[in-house]
Structure 1
Amino acid sequence: MRPLVVVLSLALFSGCQGNRDQLLADLQSPRPEVRAHAVKSLAKQGNAEDLVLFSRAAKDMASIVRGEAAAALGESQDPRVVDLLGELLEDADEDVQGRAAMALAKVKNDKAKAYLTLQYGRRGRKTRQIIVQALKTANVPGAMAESVAAESKAIWDRNLLALNEGTLPERVGAAEELGKSGRPEAINRLLPLVRDSQVVMAAAAVRGLGDAGDRRAVPAILLLLDESFPDLREASIGALRKLQDPSSVQKLQAVAVEKSAVSALATDAIAALPRTPETEKALCTIAIEGARKEAIDAARAMRTKGCPLEPIIESLSRNSGVESGLQAVIGLGPSAQGALPKVLPLLTSSDSVQRMLAVEAVAAIGDASAAPALQKLYEQELKAIEGPRQDWVTAALPQVYGSGFDPSAPAAESEDSQGHKDGAKGSKQVQLFERVRALNAQRAREAGRVLVQPRVPTELYDDVEPLSLQPLAAVLRALGAVKAPGALELLKGYAGDPNVTLRTAGLVGLARLGPEGVEAAKGGMYEAERDLQKALAEALAQQGEAGQAVLVSMLPQFASEKLVLLDALNQFGAPASASEALQAVVREGGAEAVLAASVLGRLKAKDAVPTLSKALDEPASVARREVLLALGEIGDTQAAEVVARDLYHDQPEVRFAAASALQKIGTPAQGEALDALKSDYYRRVRDAASAALAKNGTAAEGAR
C-alpha cells in the first residue's frame, strides 16, 4: 500500500505543478481575460510567494486584471499590500476601486481603515457605498458617519487653509465654500470680510453668509446696499433673499425703486420673501414707483391678491403719473378691473408710449367691453403703416435660390492649380448634398416631425421698420385677449403675415381666443424663428389644458426645440395626460430631461416612477437632482431605495435632493444613512437629512 500512496502523491503533485506552470504562463498572455483568470486561480492556491505576481498584476493595463489583483492582494491579508491597495482605490476604473476597498477591509488594520475613510471624500457614489460596506465588514462602528465626518473635516481644513494663505482667487472660492458649511465659526470668520478692501473678496464673503443661513449677518449685509459697487450690491441682495429676513424689506424696497441696475434683483428678492403685510405693501409701492420691468414684475407678484386701486387711479389721472399707473395695471391684470374706465381713454393718447402701454393694460385686464375701442385703434394703426408696407416688388418672389446663390450649398465648380475648372467634382458635391437633404427630410417625415420652410427675408420687399409695427402688433394681441368680435378671422390673416412681428402677434392673439383659436395658432410652433416659438408656446400654455395639450402633442415632433415647449409647460403647468410624453423626454436624457422631470413631479405622476427611477441608473445624468426631487413630490415609497443610493453621492446638491425626497416619501428604512449626513459639511444637506429623520421619528431611530 505504501508504494501506491507515494505514487499517487507524486502524480497529484505533478498535476498541480503542471497546472501552476500553465497559470504562470497565462500571466504573460496578450488576452486580458486570460491574465485575469490566471491571477484569480493563483490566488486560490494561497502561495505566499505569489504576492509579487499579484503586485505586478496590480499595474496591468487592463482594469479586469487590476481588479483580480486587488482581490488577490486582499486575500493575502498581508499588511505590506495596504499601500498598493490604497493606490488601487484611486484607480480610474470604479470596479477596481470597489474591489480594492473590499480588499482593504480584509487587512483590518488602522492604516487600511485610514485609506478607506480618506478616499470616501474623493470618490464617486458607487465607490463611496462600497467603502461604507467595507468598513462595516471590518467591524468599524458607525462606518458611514465616521466617513462623512472625515470628509467634512477635510473640506473644512482645506477651505480654511485657502482663506488664510491662498491667492485672491483661492480666498474668494474658500469664503463662499466656508459659508456653505453654515458653521458658527465660518460666520465669525466671514463677517469681518464684508468690509474687505478688495470688493471681490467682500462680495464672496457676503455670498458665503447668505449660504450660511444665519440671520445674524443681516444687519451687516443691509449696510452694503448703500455702497456704489454693483457686484457687492448684487451679492448682498442675493444673500438677503436666501436669509429670508423680513427686516430687510424696507432697504430692498428703496433699491427696487431707485431704477438702477440691481433694482430688478431687489424686486425679485422681496417677491421671494414670505408674504406679510410689509412685503405686500412694498410690492404695491414698487408697482407704481419702480421702472417698467420692476413695476410690472412687482404687480404681477400681487396679481392674485391685488393692490389698492386708489393710488393707481390717482396716478392715471395725473399727466406725470400715467405711465406708472399703466405699468401697475399691466402687472395686476384682471385684479385691476376697476381701473379700466381710466385706461380706455388713454387708447387715443397722442403720446405713442402711453398709447402702447394702454393697449397692454387693456389686454392684461381682458375685459370684453374694451373691444370697440381696440377695433377703432386697430383701423388707425393699420392706416399708419399702409404706406411703408406697400410692396415695391409686385411680382411673386421665388421660393428657392437660383443656381450658385444658395449659401448652404457647395460651389458648383472649382479650379485646380492651373486654373482649370473642375465641373465634374462640383457637380458631385451638389448631388451629394442634395441626397443628404433628401435623407434628412425622409427621416423627419418618418419621425412625424414637421419640416420648417424658410421664409423670404422681409427686407427684400418692404421698407417698414420693425419698431413701427409694434403698436399694431400690440393691438392684435389685445384683440385676442378681449375676444373681440371677428377677431378670429382677422388674426388668422396675420398668422401668415410675411413680417415676423405681426405674424407673432397674430398667432399669440389667436392662442388667447380659446380652443378654436388655439387650433388655428398651433401651426405657428413649426416656425423657424425662436422668439416667435417662445412667445406662442407661452401664450398656448397660459390658456390652460387646451393649449397645454397642444404643446404636449408636439413634443415627439421636436428635436432640440423641445426646450421651448418644456419651458412653457414648466412655467404654466401641464395636463395630467402629459405623463407619457414627458417620460419619453426623460428617457432620451439631455438638458430637456431636467424640465420634463420637474413637470412630472408637479403632476405627481405615479406612473412615471419606474421611468424616473431608471433615469437614476445613468451616472452622468444632468437631470439627477430634478429626478430625485420629482420622485419626492410623487411620494411613492417604491422609489425610496433607489433615491437613497444618492445619499452617498459626491455632489452636495444631489445629496440634498435625495434627503429632501426621502423626507416627502416618508420611509424610515434609510435612517442610518440620513443620520450620518447630519455630520455633512454642507448645511443644506444636514438640514434636509435632519428634516427627513424628524418626519420618520421613532422608526428612523430604530433603523440606526
Structure 2
Amino acid sequence: MMDWRAERDSALLALEREKRPALRAEAADQLFQLASEVPGRGPDFVDALPRLLVDKQPEVRRAGVRLATAVLPEDEQPATLLPRLRDDEWMVRLEATGRLADLYRQDLRGALASMLEDPMPEVRFEAARGIAGLGHAAGLEVLLEALDADLLRFRALGALGQLKDARALPAVKRLFHRWLLPAFDKTQAAGVLAELGDPEGATYLLQRAQKKKWNPDRALAVELCGAVKAPGALEQLKAILDDPKDECRGAAARGLGRLGDERALPWLLALLDERSADEDFRLDAADALWRLGLPEGRERVRASISTFTTPEGRMELEELVQEEP
C-alpha cells in the first residue's frame, strides 16, 4: 500500500504533467482528501495550495478552495478564500462562498451579502445560508425561493430554522402540506414550523418519532424533538434511549443534548458507560453530555476516552473535549 506522502507526491506530479482535465481534477481532489483524512497533516500540503488556487482549470481551483479549509487555521482562511469570490468560474465562487459561510464569522457578513447578487442561484443560496447562520435575514427571499429546488430544499429549511424569522412561516407551512413531499423534507419542515411557534410541527415530530414502524426519517424526527423543545420530548427521548433494541438511541441522545434539560444527565451517563452498546451511540451520548455543559458530565466524558475500542472513537472524543466550553 502506498504511503500517503507518496500519494501526495504522485498527485502533485499528475497536476504538473497530466494534460487530461478529468485526471488533473481527480489529482487535485485527492490532495484535499489526503489532507483531510488525519488531523495534523495540513502543514505537509500548504506548499501545494498556491499552485491549485491559480490553476487554469476551474475544477482544480475549486479543489484548492477546499484544500485551503483543510490546511489553514480558521483565522487564516478568509484571506485566502475572499479573493475567490471574484473568480470567473461560478463553481469556484460557489465553493468559496460555502466555505466562508461555514466559518460563521460576523466580519464576513458583508462579503457574503455581496454574493446575494451573484448570477448563479446556487451561489446566492450559499451566501443566504451563511448570513442566516449569523442571525441576519438579508437572504430570506433567496432561502424561500430555494424551497422549490429539490437539491437545496433540505438545507434551505435548516437555514430558516436557524434564522427563526416569522415571515417564513406561510411558505414553510405551504411546503409542509405539499402533496408527496419527500419524508426528510417534510420532517425538516416540521422542525422549522416548531421553531416558528406552530404547534403542528412539534406534534408531527413526536408522532414521527414513535416506534410504530420503520421510516427513514425517524432519527431526524427524534433529534429534532429535542432541538425544538417539543412538549413531551423529554419523556419520549428517554423511552427511546432506554430501549437497547431501538436503532434511534443515538438520535435520542443527541436530542437530549439539544433539549438542554439537566434531568437527562444520569440517563446519558448510563449510555456512555454501557460498554455493550454500539460505539456510535456512546459517542452520541458523549456529545450530548458535552453540549449540556455540566461539570460532572464533561469530566466523565474526558475519563471515558480510554474505554473506546476504536482509534476513530478515541480521536472523536479527544477533538470533542478540546472544544471551547
8 A Cα contact 2:222 2:237, kept in partner = yes
Q: Which position in structure 2 is the counterpart of 1:310?
A: 141
Listed as ranges, the matches of 1:684-703 within 5 Å are: none
8 A Cα contact 1:330 1:365, kept in partner = no
Listed as ranges, the matches of 1:105-254 within 5 Å are: 196-198=16-18, 211=47, 221-226=53-58, 234-235=63-64, 237-238=66-67, 244=80, 246-251=82-87, 254=90
Distance 1:253 1:305 in 2: 29
Shift of 1:550: 0.9
Distance 2:306 2:84 in 1: 45
2:18 partner letter: Q
Shift of 1:497: 2.6
1:289 partner letter: E
Match of 1:525 among 268, 272, 297: 272
Q: Which position in structure 2 is the counterpart of 1:566?
A: 318
For residues 637-691 of structure 1, what are the alpha-carbon distances to aligned partners after superposition, in whole Å with 9 as ceiling and x for unaligned? xxxxxxxxxxxxxxxxxxxxxxxxxxxxxxxxxxxxxxxxxxxxxxxxxxxxxxx
Shift of 1:269: 6.3
Matched, 1:503 2:249: yes
Distance 1:323 1:537 in 2: 32
Distance 1:247 1:375 in 2: 46
Match of 1:554 among 282, 292, 301: 301
8 A Cα contact 2:133 2:159, kept in partner = yes
Distance 1:491 1:356 in 2: 19
Shift of 1:516: 1.9
Distance 2:318 2:16 in 1: 44
What is the TM-score of this pair, normalised by structure 2?
0.63
Q: Which position in structure 2 is the counterpart of 1:335?
A: 163
Q: Which position in structure 2 is the counterpart of 1:278?
A: 111
Shift of 1:356: 1.7
Q: Which position in structure 2 is the counterpart of 1:578?
A: none
Shift of 1:175: 12
Listed as ranges, the matches of 1:204-603 within 5 Å are: 211=47, 221-226=53-58, 234-235=63-64, 237-238=66-67, 244=80, 246-251=82-87, 254-255=90-91, 267-268=98-99, 271=102, 275=108, 277-282=110-115, 289=122, 299=129, 303-308=133-138, 309-316=140-147, 320-321=148-149, 324-331=152-159, 333-338=161-166, 339-351=168-180, 353=182, 355-360=183-188, 362-363=190-191, 367=195, 369-376=197-204, 378-379=206-207, 382=210, 386=212, 468-513=214-259, 514-527=261-274, 528-543=277-292, 545-546=293-294, 549-561=296-308, 562-571=314-323, 573-574=324-325
Distance 2:204 2:301 in 1: 37
Q: Which position in structure 1 is the counterpart of 2:38?
A: none
**Cα gap change, 1:196/1:500 in structure 2, threshold over 3 Å: closer, same or farther?**
same
Q: Which position in structure 2 is the counterpart of 1:18?
A: none
Distance 1:507 1:209 in 2: 37
**Cα gap change, 1:251/1:221 in structure 2, threshold over 3 Å: closer, same or farther?**
same
**Cα gap change, 1:489/1:238 in structure 2, threshold over 3 Å: closer, same or farther?**
closer
**Cα gap change, 1:335/1:499 in structure 2, threshold over 3 Å: closer, same or farther?**
same
Runs of at least 5 residues in structure 2 that lack an aligned partner in the other structure: 32-42, 309-313
Runs of at least 5 residues in structure 1 that lack an aligned partner in the other structure: 1-168, 177-192, 390-467, 575-704
Listed as ranges, the matches of 1:9-158 within 5 Å are: none
Distance 1:556 1:287 in 2: 49
**Cα gap change, 1:564/1:270 in structure 2, threshold over 3 Å: closer, same or farther?**
closer
Distance 1:277 1:323 in 2: 26
Shift of 1:494: 0.9
For residues 317-340 of structure 1, what are the alpha-carbon distances to aligned partners after superposition, in whole Å with 9 as ceiling and x for unaligned? xxx426624412314643243324
Distance 2:301 2:120 in 1: 37
* Secondary structure, aligned partner of 2:306: coil
What do you get for the CA RMSD once the two structures are aligned?
4.8
Distance 2:92 2:82 in 1: 16
8 A Cα contact 1:480 1:512, kept in partner = yes
Q: Which position in structure 2 is the counterpart of 1:394?
A: none
Shift of 1:244: 1.4
Distance 1:565 1:287 in 2: 39
8 A Cα contact 1:326 1:358, kept in partner = no
Q: Which position in structure 2 is the counterpart of 1:449?
A: none
Shift of 1:495: 0.9
**Cα gap change, 1:563/1:364 in structure 2, threshold over 3 Å: closer, same or farther?**
farther
Larger Rg: 1
Q: Which position in structure 1 is the counterpart of 2:40?
A: none
**Cα gap change, 1:570/1:377 in structure 2, threshold over 3 Å: closer, same or farther?**
same
* Secondary structure, aligned partner of 1:470: coil
2:232 partner letter: G
Shift of 1:210: 5.6
**Cα gap change, 1:284/1:197 in structure 2, threshold over 3 Å: closer, same or farther?**
same
State the identity %: 19
Distance 2:246 2:189 in 1: 23
What is the TM-score of this pair, normalised by structure 1?
0.33
Distance 1:537 1:287 in 2: 41
**Cα gap change, 1:275/1:504 in structure 2, threshold over 3 Å: closer, same or farther?**
same
8 A Cα contact 1:253 1:266, kept in partner = no
Shift of 1:281: 4.1
8 A Cα contact 1:237 1:266, kept in partner = no
Shift of 1:305: 4.2
**Cα gap change, 1:559/1:288 in structure 2, threshold over 3 Å: closer, same or farther?**
farther
